[in-house]
Each structure stands twice: as C-alpha cells, then as structure tokens.
C-alpha cells in the first residue's frame, strides 16, 4: 500500500512471493499473488484472481475470477472475467481475452481479441485479429503439439476449428462453423460447410410415461437396431 496500491480489503489478500506494484494499482478482495509478480501503473485486479510469476502492463484490467500463470501482459489489455492464461502466454498492447477463454504458449498481437469461450494454444496471432466465440486451435494430435499462425487482420468466425499445423493469412476471413485443415490465403473468405438439409418427415421424440418407456427398453433389448 505504501508503494501505491489500493486494496479493497487489506485483510483479504494472499501474497506468497516478491510482488512489485507501481502507482495507483487497485487490487480487489481474495486475490492470490504467487512468486514474482509485477503490476504496472493503474493496473486493476478484480476479485478472486490468481496471478503467478507474471508481469502486467500499465492500465490493464484483470476482471473477476481470472487465472494468470507465467504470462507477460502488455499495456491497456483487458482480461476476463473467468479467463485463463497459461505459461508462455504473451499479450501485446490492447489485447482482449474474455470470459471462459484459455490461452497457452501463444502470442496475441496488439488489438487482437478472443472475447468468448475459445481455446488458443501454441499459436502466433497477429495484430487486430478477431477470434470468434467457440474457436479452437486444434494443436494436439494425440502424440504431438502443432502450431497455428493467424496473420494480421484475420477474422475467425464463431465455432471454427483450426487444425494445426495451419496458417490463416493476413486479412483472411474464416466462415463460422468451419473446420480448417489447410492454409487459408490472404484476404479471402475460406469456409467448409456441408449443404443444409431439412427432413420433412422427422418428428421430435415424445416423452414416454414410465410404462411406455419400460416397454420400449424391453423391446430394444430383445431386438437391437442395426447400428450400421
């Protein structure tokens, strides 16, 4: 506090290492700081955050319930709530990592955003990239880890699966719901999407009462459907 930090409640903070703070830092309740932690000027830490062996740049906000471990975070970034930054994560100035986004061993360029429900692992992300909700870099094939490169200005639509190793070109657009297994060229729209069909004869299953359900189960056991 003498170094310039404001604590929402000095009785509810847990410091387990060498913590350095610059002026006008704010730390909310139930924050845990482990190892060597550096908080630059005007950093704001929300409640229930865990930070270990990390540096956080000036004017960055870490919102509630975020977990930061061995990360290097630049100025004017926004993290959380409920974000997880795993070891060897680097965020450049103005990057946004939002709710339920996990980043591991990746570098996120200036002004780039992954705001919702995504996983970015073993990736090199350029500047001003938008990573849509539910996007995953599929970096593990069951035996080895592989890299993903997303160049400056790319737009990744929601629900995209980027199967590494793969490169998404500068200013490329990836259509929502696509599974990308080959490099996407600069400045083009790339998507994978089967034709949409409607089955006119289909009916939503009706909830069976207990007697009907028991009879249906008995029938299925006696004459199992051909699953082929």
59 and 78 in contact (C-beta within 8 Å)? no
Task: Give the span between the Cα atoms of 37 and 29, in whole angstroms.
Answer: 17
Q: Are 101 and 85 in contact (CB under 8 A)?
A: no
* Annotated catalytic residue within 38, 76, 92, 116: 116
Closest of 91, 116, 192, 106 to residue 150, by C-alpha:
106
Q: What stretch of H or E contains 214?
A: helix 210-222
**Is the CB of residue 177 less than 8 Å from the CB of residue 159?**
yes
What's the CA gap between 16 and 23, in Å, rounded?
Answer: 21
Q: Report d(CA 43, CA 20) in Å as an integer.
A: 12
Q: Hey, which residues does 161 pair with through a beta bridge? A: 136, 179
User: 3-state SS of the chain: helix, strand, coil percent to 5?
Assistant: 5, 40, 55
- The DSSP letter of residue 184 is B
Whether 116 is a known active-site residue: answer yes
User: What is the 3 state secondary structure string of 106-162?
Assistant: CEECCCCEEEECCEEECEEECCCCEECCCCEEECECCCCECCEEECCCCEECCCCEE
Residues tagged active-site = 116
């Amino acid at each position: 506090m003498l170094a310039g930090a404001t604590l929402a409640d000095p009785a509810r903070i847990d410091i387990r290492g060498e913590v350095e703070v610059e002026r006008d830092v704010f730390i909310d309740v139930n924050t845990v700081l482990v190892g060597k932690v550096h908080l630059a000027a005007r950093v704001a830490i929300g409640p229930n955050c865990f930070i270990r062996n990390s540096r956080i740049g000036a004017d960055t906000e870490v919102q509630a319930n975020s977990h930061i471990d061995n990360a290097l975070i630049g100025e004017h970034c926004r993290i959380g709530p409920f974000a997880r930054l795993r070891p060897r994560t680097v965020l450049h100035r103005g990057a946004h990592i939002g709710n339920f986004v996990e980043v591991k061993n990746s570098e996120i360029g200036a002004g780039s955003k992954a705001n919702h429900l995504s996983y970015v692992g073993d990736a090199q992300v350029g500047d001003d990239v938008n990573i849509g909700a539910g996007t995953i870099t599929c970096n593990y094939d069951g035996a080895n880890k592989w890299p993903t490169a997303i160049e400056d200005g790319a737009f990744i639509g929601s629900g995209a699966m980027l199967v590494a190793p793969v490169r998404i070109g500068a200013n490329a657009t990836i259509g929502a719901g696509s599974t990308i297994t080959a490099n996407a060229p600069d400045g083009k729209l790339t998507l994978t999407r089967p034709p949409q069909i409607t089955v006119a004869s289909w009916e939503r299953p009706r909830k069976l009462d207990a007697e009907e359900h028991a009879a249906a189960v008995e029938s299925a056991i006696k004459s199992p459907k051909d699953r082929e």
